[in-house]
Chains A and B, each alone.
Chain A
């Protein structure tokens, strides 16, 4: 479904990605883990067209999207929940969700999506007329996820959805990611909370200063000694 090949990305002279390749198959939950500054966000931003790589390619459902501008990629079935949520603070919860459906026009289908999002996030429904900037961090994260789902994506990229949340919220967020996957949406999940990410992922890739250093079955990685030491704190 998503195929990344030999991706190199530079910020000026700094090379943030040094030629990474990986793939995400339909229906999978793939975890991309790594320390601060490893290049996780850069990877997701390059896939969704926010950044242009120096070399390499990104294929989505067999279409080369490497140089397609970001705003055109959404309607091809890819949604991105960015790092730091990035909800529209001055718009209400409802208006934020409406923005998520910007590329769609079928009113009936959009109404179904609202229903689906409100079902997954009942709290958003309660707060639909509240300004997004006044939501708590966890609620903003739910809004960012709900907003991404409003585009009816076939694959969702999520950048550290559990960042800065209290343990209860973290559990809830991971439950929701699981249910998004159960509903048939493919997930590429970037996380620093490697333990939780590996627990729900099918496969995982480990990124270290711009290179993929390890990959494999999530269950195997969980038992890998180097992973245990570096990312699971055991």
Chain B
């Protein structure tokens, strides 16, 4: 939403490496692998954020543009807990998840629930309003100067091939956390009663009521899950890109939304696929083409995918018979 966020390119990955022309094949391969892993790592964070967009869209049929800013709030909470209060990383994360979960539910109750029968446009404008509100509150409380986020992952990671291939602890943790969450979430949606309710509400809200499903509670739960994941995403994002400002959530939020559309909005595996692909494309474009053009390339790919398959890679296109 904001115009002046810190671009991910600024504190980027291996910037300029591609300009050193070294003709050693092994080095090139290792370089590529490093970029790929960094892309997967960034993509995992996008995927976690995209989950929030895609679930809320699928179930509440709205675009929650304030979602990116919940990431920022989550990151600040972790920052306060670790850097100011000296708490261990895991405790800070749990606190941030708890607070963001509550924040998500409160936002839904106050800002969106009263608009359940309003037009999509009214809801969209409200969401933009909530986004600015969160940014402004953060500005008021934390100021506009970037704070330096200390990684919550002290682990230095693994080194292979005599030091040529380094996988950071951040990357390993981000990718694993994302995969575990995806698996748990897909299991949850398929095999539990609240998950079943989510599927029903996303398919047909009125029919869901007739099945005895509490639609308001289901939407609230969806916001809770999405916002809790946003806290995790915020901590992971700032562990890799440590400069934290009130605008930190905007750009990743927009990209994750793009990832959700890319993968097929409303689809959980779609969010994973879209997020990972977006991360990889972004990092590879930065490394091999141009860091300035990277975002343009990402969106160009999105547009091409949507031209070929309007519902996204894994989006459903069901012909309904009436």
Interface string of B203-236 (1 = CB under 8 A from A): 1101111111111000000000000000000000
Contacting residues, chain B, for A19 (C-beta < 8 A)? none
Q: Find residues 27-67 in chain B having any chain A CB closer than 8 Å to their own CB.
A: none
Minimal beta-carbon separation of B67 from chain A (angstroms): 24
> Which one, A81-89, A119-127, A190-198, is touching chain B?
A81-89
Contacting residues, chain A, for B204 (C-beta < 8 A)? 86, 88-89
**Alpha-carbon distance between A84 and B322 when the two chains are bound, in angstroms:** 7
From A71, A73, A87, A102, give the contact of B193 (CB < 8 A).
A102
Interface string of A93-136 (1 = CB under 8 A from B): 00100111011000000000000000000000000000101111
**A185 in the interface (beta carbon within 8 A):** no
Interface string of B184-214 (1 = CB under 8 A from A): 0000000001001101100110111111111
Interface size grouping (class) on chain B: 20 to 34
User: Is the CB–CB distance between B214 and A90 below 8 Å?
Assistant: no
Contacting residues, chain A, for B193 (C-beta < 8 A)? 102
Contacting residues, chain B, for A91 (C-beta < 8 A)? 199-200, 203
**Alpha-carbon distance between A73 and B214 when the two chains are bound, in angstroms:** 11
> Which one, B155-163, B253-261, B312-320, is touching chain A?
B312-320
Which of A73, A88, A91, A95 has the largest number of chain B CB atoms within 10 A? A88
**Alpha-carbon distance between A98 and B213 when the two chains are bound, in angstroms:** 12
User: Is the CB–CB distance between A71 and B320 below 8 Å?
Assistant: no
Interface size on A, residues (CB 8 A): 37
User: Is the CB–CB distance between A71 and B213 below 8 Å?
Assistant: yes
User: Is the CB–CB distance between B212 and A135 below 8 Å?
Assistant: no
Minimal beta-carbon separation of A47 from chain B (angstroms): 12
From A70, A84, A90, A133, give the contact of B209 (CB < 8 A).
A70
**Alpha-carbon distance between A136 and B321 when the two chains are bound, in angstroms:** 7
User: Is the CB–CB distance between B322 and A86 below 8 Å?
Assistant: no
User: Is the CB–CB distance between B210 and A74 below 8 Å?
Assistant: yes
**Alpha-carbon distance between A74 and B197 when the two chains are bound, in angstroms:** 14
Q: Find residues 66-96 in chain B having any chain A CB closer than 8 Å to their own CB.
A: none
User: Is the CB–CB distance between A133 and B321 below 8 Å?
Assistant: yes
User: Is the CB–CB distance between B318 and A82 below 8 Å?
Assistant: no
User: Is the CB–CB distance between A71 and B209 below 8 Å?
Assistant: yes
**A46 in the interface (beta carbon within 8 A):** no
**A48 in the interface (beta carbon within 8 A):** yes
From A74, A80, A89, give the contact of B203 (CB < 8 A).
A89
**Alpha-carbon distance between A131 and B317 when the two chains are bound, in angstroms:** 12
**Alpha-carbon distance between A134 and B320 when the two chains are bound, in angstroms:** 7
User: Is the CB–CB distance between A82 and B196 below 8 Å?
Assistant: no
User: Is the CB–CB distance between B322 and A50 below 8 Å?
Assistant: no
**A209 in the interface (beta carbon within 8 A):** no
Contacting residues, chain B, for A66 (C-beta < 8 A)? none
Minimal beta-carbon separation of A129 from chain B (angstroms): 15
From A49, A99, A136, give the contact of B196 (CB < 8 A).
A99
Q: Which residue of B lies closest to A131 (CB)?
A: B318
Q: Taking A88-B204, A91-B203 as contacts, is the C-beta distance between A102 and B321 under 8 angstroms?
A: no
Interface string of B147-170 (1 = CB under 8 A from A): 000000000000000000000000
Minimal beta-carbon separation of B319 from chain A (angstroms): 7
Which of B210, B212, B320 has the largest number of chain A CB atoms within 10 A? B210
User: Is the CB–CB distance between A88 and B212 below 8 Å?
Assistant: no
Contacting residues, chain A, for B211 (C-beta < 8 A)? 71, 74, 99-100, 102-103, 147, 151
Instruction: Offer 10 A-B interface pairs, CB within 8 angstroms, sorted by A.
Output: A50-B206, A50-B209, A50-B210, A71-B209, A71-B215, A80-B210, A89-B318, A137-B322, A147-B211, A148-B210
Interface residues of A (CB under 8 A from B): 48-50, 69-75, 79-80, 82, 84, 86-91, 95, 98-100, 102-103, 131, 133-137, 140, 147-148, 151, 164
Interface residues of B (CB under 8 A from A): 193, 196-197, 199-200, 203-204, 206-215, 316, 318-322
Besides A84-B322, A133-B321, 9 new A-B residue pairs in contact (Cβ under 8 A), listed by A number: A48-B210, A71-B211, A73-B212, A75-B212, A88-B200, A90-B316, A102-B196, A102-B200, A135-B321
Q: Which 8 A-B pairs have the closest CB atoms?
A: A74-B212, A103-B212, A88-B203, A86-B207, A70-B209, A133-B318, A102-B211, A71-B214
